[in-house]
Structures are given as structure tokens and as C-alpha cells.
Structure 1
């Protein structure tokens, strides 16, 4: 059985330095320093391949860990996005049967985003990863319209990954505890996922998929909470003047991945909302690191061998244009 993991993170030391040098560095960078994360994130060679072998993963799709280049000034974001894309594709070239990559885009320089997407796609990147907002600018801002049009035209799926909420949101909802609890509540414990679900819902409500019906989006963590609230979200479609209910876009334009959360209850809920053809495997490496036995046990929860094969490989290969 082929196993493709579509959300496997890495970092570039030069980018880490640039992010830490900002007047207010992103606090979530601290997660990269925990345990052996930094060593694993920086390794695009033998160590990563060995970790894949240990888990039974045949192909990993590399994606820069948050916050990417989003917080950087435009010129710096463009330079380091290009450097990251070059570095990732060099790693793919060294391990062509084991690695693929999602591009990094200079979202703080909107006028350059579509061009860098096209350049990266020409290099061989199979999709791209962005975050729900860049500074105070949401993904549904009109300045990104050309980006989404290009992504649809180039058949480059857009993975929307969590990032730390804005200061205003953190002040309103996530502060008042000790510093570490504040950060955990705003990130992996809650805020990351709600922030990403909101970004995805805003894209739907802004008519992005009515204008770009071929555009494909990926959400991690079993849909970032959005799959659990579609009964209510559907009521927004009429007042937003959409062509379809919100659920229609989830089933037509969105793909959902596990991000290492190997909980069969989450799988069953996802299958009650969307179809097996929209679900893919990932581990969120190295932040989640399920063992081969844990992965094998989880895969017993699929109803048929065909469904299991779709989840482990076929759906990812179709979405990202990979040869099995």
C-alpha cells in the first residue's frame, strides 16, 4: 500500500533568522524550537527520509512551517519566498521518488504572488501553502483575486494552514492566563483552527469559488472545525448571494487532511459531511509524529480496501498530479 503524506513541514534557517529579527517576532516560532523540531524541520535529506521509512511513508509533500514569509516586508518576503522555493525543489530533485513540495508565496507583496506561483509551478511544485491572513489583510481581499485565478488555471491546489490570530483577536479572546496558556489557547489548542476555518468560510462567502469553480483548497486538522458547523454555515449562502450552499463548495472545492490526528471519530464525521474522494493522509511532521503501528491501526477503520487506498494515496496523487 502506497502512503502519501501531504503536510510535512520544513524550515529554512535564513528565513528563521529574518522572522526572529522582526520588531515583533511571531510567538509561534517557539514551537519550532521544542524537542528536536528544529533539527527535523531543517533536514531535507537522509534524516527526513529515515523518519519517513520508520513511519512507512512513501512520499512526503514538503511545506514551509508557519508563518512562512507572510510577516516579512514585501521585498524581503519576495526574496525569501523565491529562495525557499528553490531550496525545496532542490531537495525534491535529490529524492525524486520520495519528496514533492508546496510553494511559498510572498503574500505581503500581492502584486508578485501570482507570478511566483507560476514560477514555482514551472519548477515542479505541486501546489502551494498560504495562511488565512497577511497582516490585517484577509485571503479574500481583492488584491489576491489574481492569485486564486492563477491557482485555478495552473491547477495548483491551495493549502490554507493555521497561523496565530491577530493581536486584536488575541486581546479579545485568548489572553488573561499565563503566557504559555495564552499562546496555546491562541494556537494549537483552539485559535489556529478557528482562524483558518474563518478564512476558508470568508473565501466561500466572497464568491471566490463562483468566480473560480475549478479552484481547489486543502484544509488540515479534519477541516479546521468548519465541517462541524455546516448546518449553520449553509444559512449564510442565501444572504451572501452565492450560487450554492456552503456545503456544496466544501464537497466540490475543498479537500480535507488528517494532520496526524488519527482519531476514527473524526474520520467518520468527515465522511458524513463530504466523500471519501476528498480525504487525504498527512502527519503534520514533525509536530505530530505517529508511529507506523498507529498509522496502520487507524487505517483499519476504512470500510473497504478501495476507500483505504483513496485516503492513503489515490486522492493525493489525483489532487497533486503525482504518478503512483
Structure 2
């Protein structure tokens, strides 16, 4: 049963090289080298996500019955930069992705990389990517420098996405130096433990959940009711708290309870976390129609991606929705 999977990544060596200083970790922030070394030791992961590793990517897709990947830029995204360099490298990354998709049109779709620290330029680039490159949405890697996307200056990005009728995927990125020092670093354990705790082990998922909540509480979805967002990792902890949010959070300025927006404006993917208890919770929280499929390739390469949905007691129609029908509807695929 062929699937369409989201949150599948690539990088470009020439872009990484041009980013130079921007990719060097801060001495006060998450120790990225320790984080990656720990990940490789525990999982065997290697950072082989360049577009040039095409055969490896296709082999994984074929083995796991994936018909199409929705590709987006991965670790070290140029969207983290600011100024003209951010705009230049994001445009370059999008143009290179378009060339790759054109070479394999039956296997890949694209999500735009946006220079989010330059909101007007980001909106312009989103329009170009949708109207000229035939991309299907955008992936935002973390949040702007020292800010969140609920700041009014970024509204133009969401307004543009709603007008174009395309989704935005809100993706984790390394947390701020201050957050790392205050919440995750400790003399009681190693830098590698702190780094994995602060990132893919826990911290950056909490960060995305808070970011999504800020967008909801800002009234963004009252102003843009047709805006669609996607979050991964079974909802970045938010589904567990829908009822609690509705009962406790004082938000009389919203037209609806907080959970309403998660159930209507958000889609949720597993990001390779193929676990039944979390799936059952998400199915109950948002319903089958708002679940998409994702491996988080190449950072996660689940050996059971092609069989996991068969183990959940779903009907054939429910499996089809998660595998590809929800994606076809959201992305307006023919």
C-alpha cells in the first residue's frame, strides 16, 4: 500500500559550506557535536541526507512501500540565517530541490525553505515556490532569531500560506542558549546527555509544542481560519493536554477553545515514532482525517514503516487516509 510521507529531509553540501560561521555551535548552547555522536552511538544514525545519496533514498522508499516523499531542508537550514544571505541560500536550495523533483516527478514533492528572519522576503519566496516551482507548502525550521512566529511581523507568512491554500510544517530546531543553560545543562550528567535531553530526546519537542500553542493563543487561526499547519512527533506533546487547555487556560479573546484549533487547523505526523499508544491517543484527539504519515528520513529510517499501519486494527479506508488520501486532499494532488 504505497504511501506519501512528510518530514523527509535533504541538505546541500554547497549550502552548508556557504553558511560557514552560522553553523558553528555557540559555546553556551547545545553541544551539537556531542549530540550527533551520542545519536550515532545509540542508533547507528549517520547524517547522509544530501540529494546526491539518491540510490540510498530510493532503496529505502521501495523497501518501505513509500511512493512519494515530501522533501524539505534538514539540519542546518539556511532559514536560520538573516539578511540577503538567507534569501539567497533559501532561493538556491529551493531551485536545486525543484531540479531534483523534476528528475523524479513520480517520487518527490517539495516544501519550500523560507528566510523567516526576513518576513516579507519569506512571503515572496513562498509565492514563488508555490506558483512557479509547484511546491506544495513550506517547512519552517525552528523559530526566528530571539522571537516566535506569533510576533505580528511574521503574520504575512501565514496570510500568504492561507491565500495560496498550502500548509506550513512547524519543525524542531536547536533551542536557544538561555533555555539550554537554564533547563537542560547540568553537572550531574555529561554534555552528551544534556545535548540529547535538550534536543531530539525531549527539549526541542516541548519547544515546538509551546510554539504551536503561542500561535493558537495569538488568535492566528481566528484571523486566518483556513490556514493549515502540520506538526510531527505525534503532536509534540500537545494532544495529551487538549482537555486541560480547554478547562484551565483563560483565553476569552479566542472564538473557540484551544483544542478546536488543533483539531481543525493542525495535521499530525509520527515523524518515524511508530508507537501504538501514541497513535491511539492522537486518533482519539484529532481523528483519522488529520493524521499524515512520516518517517523523518534519513534521521530516522524505521524498518517497519511499510507495515506499522497494518498493526493498528484500522479499516482499509482508515489506512488509506493516513497513507495517502489525507495527503492528497491537503496538498491538492490530482
- TM-score normalised by structure 1 residue count: 0.93
Residue 70 of structure 2 corresponds to 61
Stretches of structure 2 lacking an aligned partner (at least 5 in a row) = none
Corresponding residue for residue 307 of structure 1: 318
TM-align CA RMSD? 2.0
Unpaired segments ≥5 residues, structure 1: none
In the other structure, the counterpart of 1:223 is 235
Is the 2:45–2:299 Cα contact (8 Å) retained in structure 1?
no
Query: What is the match of residue 167 of structure 2?
Result: 157
Separation in structure 2 between the aligned mates of residue 8 and residue 233 of structure 1, nearest angstrom: 31
SS of 2:80's equivalent? coil
Q: Name which of structure 1's ranges 149-158 and 24-33 shifts more when overlaid on structure 2.
A: 24-33
The answer to whether residue 140 in structure 2 is matched with residue 130 in structure 1 is yes
By how many angstroms is 1:236 displaced?
5.9
Contact 1:45 1:91 in 2 (8 A): no
Contact kept? 1:70, 1:135, Cα under 8 Å: no
Match of 1:97 among 81, 93, 106: 106
What is the number of equivalent residue pairs in this alignment? 322
Q: Give the corresponding residue for 1:187.
A: 199
- Specify the alignment match of 2:122 in structure 1: 113
Q: What is the DSSP-based 3-state SS (H/G/I as helix, E as strand, rest coil) of the residue aligned with 2:267?
A: strand
Question: What SS does the aligned partner of 2:105 have?
Answer: coil
Query: Does the alignment pair 1:39 with 2:48?
Result: yes
2:265 to 246, 250, 253: 253
Deviation at 1:196, TM superposition (A): 0.2
Determine if the alignment matches structure 1 residue 139 to structure 2 residue 123: no
SS for the counterpart of 1:239 is: coil
Shift, 1:322, TM fit: 1.9
Task: Summarize the Cα distance change of 1:243–1:106 in structure 2 as closer, same or farther, 3 Å threshold.
Answer: same
Preserved CA contact (<8 Å) 1:197 1:224: yes
Distance 1:320 1:21, change over 3 A: same
Distance 1:36 1:152, change over 3 A: same
Aligned: 1:281 with 2:293: yes
Cα deviation code 1:61-120 (max 9, x no counterpart): 101113422332311110000001001111110000000011000012122111000001
TM-score for both structures, normalised by structure 2 = 0.91
Q: Secondary structure at the match of 1:244?
A: coil
Taking the aligned partners of 2:158 and 2:200, their CA distance within structure 1 comes to: 27
